[in-house]
Amino acid sequence: MEIINLSRKYHFSAGEDSPHSQWGTGADWEVEVTLSGYLNSKTGLVINLIDLDALVKPCVESLNKKHLNKEVKYFAIHKVNPTNVAKYLYTNINEQIKKQWGNLKELKLISVKASKPILGIYGTYLHNMDSSSPRGISN
């Protein structure tokens, strides 16, 4: 049996503190989540997309329309930057996926404004990743 990769995109908008403005700044983001697995012989699916959405959407929604520095506890102690946003999402999404399915293979964080991936985290790397030595792809 061959392993199939399944990717699905989610969107969120979030704000953060800015040294250039007392109002802060905001950005629109796209998160691409990739799972790998075998096709289920009964359903013909790797995972039902409704089930995947139920696992991923709450994590993405925890950032949507939020001022990250002020409304998300994680960013009270971690600097808001693409690496930490991707790490936050990967950790929380993977925690949900592991309960029912397996491990998250990859997460890409994409700036909607730039229309290109700015950071990708691969599951095998994150387990030994600390903020001082990010691994994955970055532009």
| Model confidence pLDDT, tens digit, residues 34-79 | 998 888 889 888 899 999 999 999 999 999 999 999 999 999 999 9
pLDDT, tens digit, 9 for 90 and up, residues 11-27? 999 998 877 777 778 88
Residue type, 119: L
Which residue in 129, 131, 30, 118 sits closest to 84, CA to CA?
Answer: 131
Looking at the structure of the chain, the number of domains it has is: 1
| Residue pLDDT, tens place only, 70-109 | 999 999 999 999 899 999 999 999 999 988 887 788 888 8
pTM: 0.81
Domain of 121, in residue numbers: 4-138
From the list 135, 117, 99, 128, the residue with the least C-alpha distance to 33 is 117
Give me the CATH number covering residue 96: 3.30.479.10
Greatest CA span in the chain, whole angstroms? 56
- Token pair for residue 124? 């095998």
